[in-house]
A and B are shown apart, each in its own frame.
Chain A
Amino acid sequence: MASGYAWFLVLGSVFLCNLMKTLLPTISSCLSKMVQKDAEQESEMRAEIQEMKKEQASISMMDEFARYARLERKINKMTDKLKTHVKSRTAQQAKMKWVVNIVFYILQAALMISLIWKYYSDPVTVVPSKWIAPVERLVAFPTGVAGGVGITCWLVVCNKVVSLGLHAFCIGPGQSEGEFLPLLQAVILAEQL
């Protein structure tokens, strides 16, 4: 027969899986930052390019063409190096994201299979069968217990509800950020003017 809190265990597992799914991009970016050791090199290169550009802007091309051209070559070389660096970093990030996703989906599949294996013949909860007529057989699948709620039905229901709930919570802060950023940009522009 159903254990006391099987429904809560399944609900908790589904909630955890969905939460991890929403946090996957953050996790993969954190991991890629940890793995990358030469992240400072990129910022140094950017700063160097900025300085060289400032210096180039201060030089008159007519008066000091040779120096101007030398700087131009240096800037181009540094920019190419930066581009290569950024490309490799992006490729590494994509690889990391892919690995994280694969691992997550494997773990999720393993968790779901283990839950189904455990509660294959036991319903997660039992209610009087006339309450859930006429679909009591469908709801009880695969347990076959009259009035029971089977693992498959409960997994589907929990998945849907949890995804709806997380979506509602994720939308709220996202919307406020979406309204806030343009305001911030407007304020910065006004200050500059």
Chain B
Amino acid sequence: MESADAGAGEKAACLSAAQRRAEIRRRKLLMNSEDRMNRIVGYTKNESEINAGTLLRPAEPRFHLDLDRTEPWSSASSSSRPSPFLPEASGLVSRSHGATPERGGSPMPDCSEPLAGFLEDNIGSIQQRPRGERASDELSGSPRPGLQKYLSRFDDAMKLRGQLANEKPAQDGGGSDTEEFDPFRIFRLTGSILLAVFVRVFVCTFLSIFAPFLTLELAYMGLSKYFPKVEKKAQTTVLTAALLLSGIPAEVINRSMDTYRRMSDVFADLCVYFFTFILSHEFLLLIGSETP
């Protein structure tokens, strides 16, 4: 009876030692897989942090050793999870490793129970893992978002390249001047011409010629909503493509282009107005010089 008990105890001790060795081997493999994954993704940013972390906290285990795990993973991961590629089994390994010292003297039947318990705990922790993993990713700046960002930028670049290639023949056919004569634009130019003539004939002796022009532009701003809005196709030029790829949001670019378009419209109105004014002035001088 006693010999049987002693044999069982030795077996348990051997098993625990063997188990320990197996766990150590498994941990080594898992650690390597993590390093491998990090190298594939190009995760070298936090290597120094990991080293610093391990140096600063040598006592704190890299793998979480919480046996009675009920809280979510994130609280543990925030403290000791620099890499997102910590496998779930490491929890199991750490737990079983952590468990064995505490229950070092327990007989064999008891060892199986904690393992089953660890499995159940791990299932719960795995389910809770995504939240924790996300938090760890956010906190530690994992390579996955960086990789995704790079891939999304690459896709954008390929799409823009295709768009540029498609729009280039259209632009070449239309010429470099991309101004379009929609009804409102024609109305503006006609209004500027008529106002210039009117100002030259009646108004210019009393005040500056630019005052009526400014009034006209203010009126145009109010009248623009009464005209049908022409949907101008957003042209992808090399400049807009470069701005997009450099990280400037498309909305900002569109707004800037819209502002630039408005300013160019006002400039065109001013040029037409001034030109017509000078022309009418010279014409009146010519008539005045010719009349006896």
Contact = CB atoms under 8 A, between A and B. Distances in A.
Given A164-B179, A164-B268, A167-B179, A158 B208 contact: no
A161 B278 contact: no
Contact of A158 (B181, B209, B267, B275): B275
Contacts of A133: 208, 210
Contacts of B278: 7, 125, 127, 149, 154, 157
A130 B208 contact: yes
A168 B209 contact: no
B272 interface: yes
B271 A160 contact: yes
Contacts of A130: 208
Contacts of B209: 131-132
A171 interface: yes
Contacts of A149: 278
A121 interface: no
Nearest to B174: A174
B120 interface: no
Chain A, interface size: which category? Answer: 20 to 34
B161 interface: no
A157 B282 contact: no
Q: Do most interface residues of chain B lie in helix, strand or loop, or is the interface mixed?
A: helix
A164 B208 contact: no
Interface string A145-172: 0000100001011101101100110110
A151 to B, nearest CB: 13
Contacts of B179: 164, 167
B12 interface: no
Given A160-B267, A160-B271, A7 B282 contact: yes
Interface string A89-119: 0000000000000000000000000000000
Contacts of B86: none
Given A158-B275, A164-B179, A167-B179, A135 B282 contact: no
Nearest to A159: B271
Contacts of B189: 164
B271 A132 contact: no
A125 B281 contact: yes
Contacts of A160: 267-268, 271-272
Given A167-B179, A168-B181, A156 B271 contact: yes
Counting chain B CB atoms within 10 Å of each CB, which of A22, A132, A170 scores highest?
A: A132
A133 B214 CA distance: 13
Contact of A135 (B175, B210, B267, B272): B210
B204 interface: yes
B68 interface: no
Nearest to A171: B181
Interface string B267-292: 11001101100100110000000000
B2 interface: no
A127 B281 contact: yes
A125 B282 contact: yes
Contacts of A127: 278, 281
A22 B177 CA distance: 11
A156 B267 CA distance: 11
A173 interface: no
Contacts of A182: none
A157 B271 contact: yes
Nearest to B179: A167
Given A157-B271, A171-B181, A132 B282 contact: no
B217 to A, nearest CB: 15
Contacts of B177: 163, 167
Interface of B: 175, 177, 179, 181, 189, 204, 208-210, 267-268, 271-272, 274-275, 278, 281-282
Given A127-B278, A157-B278, 12 more contacts: A7-B278, A7-B282, A8-B282, A125-B281, A125-B282, A127-B281, A130-B208, A134-B208, A149-B278, A154-B278, A161-B275, A164-B179
